[in-house]
Amino acid sequence: MNETIEIQHSHRSTRSYKTDPVSDEMLTAIIEAGHRAPSSMNAQEISVIVVRDAERKAKIAELAGGQTWIAQAPVFIAIVADYNKTDIGVRKAGQTQVIHESMEGLLVAGIDAGLVLANMMVAARSLGLGIVPIGSIRRSPQAMVDLLGLPPLTFPLVGMCLGHIEKDAPLKPRMDANTFRHEERYDANGYAAAIDSYDETILEYWKQLGRTDGITWSQNLGNNLKQVYYPQVKPVAAMQGLLNDK
């Protein structure tokens, strides 16, 4: 394997950071990696907001449910669906933008945001930095919109902590690869057995970490997926003009 694939295979989420700042050179290189990510239709409907101010990061940590590593990391990057930017281009062409009112618009923005995030993650790791994606910037989306000064037709999709690693996390085991890779057609025949096995594996992982509160993968899913865990996403996205009704 080459170095890039080794970095991807060794991904882990870092939640302990040194106070050392991330250099402007490193930060620019990481953000440019995100900027060069693929974009559907070349729409480039993603923007990023770099947050280094301590008070602002502390507020993001609070809005995200008390995730202290957001405040601790020297840099937080918010990845934003930006149909305001594309709307300016569409209006210049003498047309009316409607994609932001559709499910396709939300899906493609989410996909493109993921591509940006992935590129920045690999770039950061290649420079020896630690990262952790933060989906909970959607937990209190209106407050996040206000904090980041987001205009209509934009929405905060995901964030990323970035910094020099104080203490890195061990590599978390994954479920059997056969539950991820399918040949020619989808096949769920092995799922039940694989989930049983993975539940045992993840409990052993928590035990090795000394986590007495660790639960199985299936229990974790049950706790989280039995509900819409960020219920304000839909109404706030609608208020931002991302209607999802087409």
pLDDT of residue 1: 85
Domain of 133, CATH number, reads 3.40.109.10
Assigned domain for 27 exists: yes
pLDDT of residue 210: 94
Whether the predicted model's global pTM rises above the 0.75 cut? yes
Assigned domain for 90 exists: yes
Q: Going from the first residue of the chain to its last (246 residues), give the mean pLDDT of each consecutive group of 10, the final group possibly shorter.
A: 94 96 98 98 98 98 98 98 98 98 97 98 98 98 98 98 95 96 97 98 96 96 97 98 94
pLDDT of residue 76: 98
Contacts (Cβ under 8 Å, ≥6 apart) of 103? 244, 246
Assigned domain for 161 exists: yes
The parent domain of residue 232 ranges over 3-169+228-239
Number of domains forming the structure of the chain? 1
